[in-house]
């Protein structure tokens, strides 16, 4: 949690540097291009946080003291889902599954459901302690950080009863290839980033 405007810029830049180092070390050129494209939303959000005139920054600082009171609960939500991602990644035997692969679809569906559960977990906890306005801001942070990564691949997953418990179905962009390492790495990075803020 950042409790003052002086904390925001340096800490966010450290987080970005950490994730960028991961991308530089673990991704090939094509994956790095995908990484750059998928993280545009997070990059813009960081710019907003570092801009003293940003309404997004002002709203965050307004709620930061309450966010700090739910930090342990938020970490429990985040760590549960980060461990799910790590387990799925460690169980992967093929580093370059494409979206037409049934095994990848099954794993991707688990990640989409995990992401939705993460939002529900954090929203419920923050709304109870800090109110609906703070919960909306937390949703906004997570959504902006992951928008171009999660939403395209999860858009056609059915919502509602059975949406996260039935057969995997087929995700959109079936002709697009994306490696399992890239998929996991990007979501880990974005969840790490959002965990720093909330």
Q: Can you tell me whether residue 26 is helix, strand or coil? A: helix
Contacts 24+ apart (CB under 8 A), 95-98: 95/179, 95/180, 95/181, 96/177, 96/179, 96/180, 97/179, 97/180, 98/176, 98/177, 98/178
pTM over 0.85: no
pLDDT at 171: 37
Q: Angle at Cα 148 formed by Cα 127 and Cα 109, nearest 5°?
A: 75
| Averaged pLDDT of the chain | 68
Indicate the number of domains in the chain: 1
Range of the domain at 11: 5-197
Instruction: Tell me the pLDDT tens digit for each residue of 155-179.
Output: 665 544 445 654 333 333 333 444 4
**What pLDDT digit, counting tens, does each position of 77-129 carry?**
777 766 665 555 445 444 443 444 446 566 667 777 777 787 888 888 899 99
* Secondary structure string (H, E, C) spanning 76-141: HHHHHHHHHHHHHHHCCCCCCCECCCHHHHHHHHHHHHHHHHHHHHHHHHHHHHHCHHHHHHHHHH
């Amino acid at each position: 949690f950042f409790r003052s405007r002086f904390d925001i810029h340096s800490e966010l830049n450290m987080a970005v540097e950490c994730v960028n180092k991961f991308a530089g070390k673990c991704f090939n050129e094509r994956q790095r291009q995908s990484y750059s494209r998928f993280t545009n939303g997070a990059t813009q959000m960081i710019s907003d946080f570092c801009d003293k005139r940003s309404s997004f920054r002002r709203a965050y600082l307004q709620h930061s003291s309450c966010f700090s009171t739910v930090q342990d609960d938020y970490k429990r939500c985040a760590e549960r889902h980060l461990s799910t991602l790590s387990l799925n990644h460690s169980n992967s035997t093929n580093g370059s599954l494409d979206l037409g692969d049934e095994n990848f679809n099954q794993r991707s569906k688990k990640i989409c459901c995990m992401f939705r559960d993460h939002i529900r977990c954090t929203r419920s906890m923050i709304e109870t302690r800090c109110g609906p306005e703070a919960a909306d801001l937390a949703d906004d942070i997570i959504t902006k950080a992951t928008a171009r990564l999660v939403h395209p691949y999860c858009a056609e997953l059915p919502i509602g009863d059975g949406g996260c418990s039935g057969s995997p179905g087929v995700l959109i962009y079936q002709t697009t290839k994306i490696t399992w390492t890239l998929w996991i790495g990007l979501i880990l990075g974005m969840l790490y980033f959002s965990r720093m803020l909330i």
